Amino acid sequence: MQKKVLVTGADGFIGSHMVEHLVRRGADVRAFCCYNSFNSWGWLDRCAEDIRGRFEVVSGDIRDPNGVRAAVDGCDTVYHLAALIAIPFSYNSPDSYVSTNVVGTLNILQAARDLGVRRVLHTSTSEVYGSAQYVPIDELHPVVGQSPYSATKIAADQLAISFHRSFELPVVIVRPFNTYGPRQSARAVIPTVITQLLSGSQKIRLGLSSPTRDFSYVGDTVEGFIALSDCDKAIGEVVNLGSGFEVSIGDTVSLIAEVIGVDPVVETDDARLRPEASEVQRLWSCMDKMQGLTGWQPEYGGREGFKKGLEKTIEWFSDPENRASYKSDVYNV
């Protein structure tokens, strides 16, 4: 872990956790953050004290091939997490998803190919599968673009696969299911429920409560990425990262309420509903391939593991300083 590694999207939810985990493992980390005039490094501005000052920050734009190439130069491994991921916003601004998720990924692949990078970990998403046609979902499941977001991620995945097949670029396509944990955006269901409840609301505004998800705690997701970074057999492969536990949104709300110790009323908010044919009704990961390749096991698997992960997440959100960054009374697309 002494070689230079690049994390794109390092200012975001999973990316900031990735930086922390890699630094603690002894990696020389370059964090690629989205340039802004505030000189904000996103969540890395509030990173854990034990890693503060122990990583390099490069500000840029994943859509800019020159800036991306400069960031990749000299790096042994690239963890490519930079993306636009909010599904509702992709209905409003699909062009921005193409330029960020597709063109941004192409920039990473081109730079990695030209500069001889040892390994590229490209981040996919379980949303590419659409509603499960069978469960648990393995990597051979068909991909279906049910939202502009998922369509751009399918395109980015296929670009990554094509660069491996065409140019022997050492790429691994990592396909996390629904990652949750501290720092996650309030556009996601778990933070929006937690922040509403901790604000004292007796009513929770949600979209559909019937869809099921396979929620993975962020620490497990990050450890899965790191395990794959040194697995030669994973090169050129698509690999699911999940917890192996399926739970409905409604049952997730009940479990969060149980941990917090409240009994809320759930109301359907039409603004939070996806178009009917765009809603992904069921996601549940098959982990056989990941476990066969690396031996990785989620620490927060099953119902009890999910509850333990929720407790850690709620503990983080219970700190008023952390929660101050969230607007619980505003729907965040």
pLDDT tens track, the chain, 333 positions: 568 999 999 999 999 999 999 999 999 999 999 999 999 999 999 999 999 999 999 999 999 999 999 999 999 999 999 999 999 999 999 999 999 999 999 999 999 999 999 999 999 999 999 999 999 999 999 999 999 999 999 999 999 999 999 999 999 999 999 999 999 998 899 999 999 999 988 888 888 899 999 999 999 999 999 999 999 999 999 999 999 999 999 999 999 999 999 999 988 888 888 898 999 999 999 999 999 999 999 999 999 999 999 999 999 999 999 998 888 777 777
Q: How many CB atoms lie within 10 A of CB 84?
A: 21
How far apart (Å, rounded) are the C-alpha atoms in residues 99 and 220? 29
Q: Which CATH architecture has domain 1-333?
A: 3-Layer(aba) Sandwich (3.40)
Q: What are the extents of the domains in the chain?
A: 1-333
Q: Which is it for strands 178-180 and 56-60: parallel, antiparallel or unpaired? A: unpaired
Torsion sign across C-alpha atoms 268, 273, 275, 276? negative
Non-local (6+) Cβ contacts of 242 within 8 A are 126, 176, 177, 214, 216, 284, 285, 286, 287, 298
Q: 268: which strand partners?
A: 206
SS3 6: strand
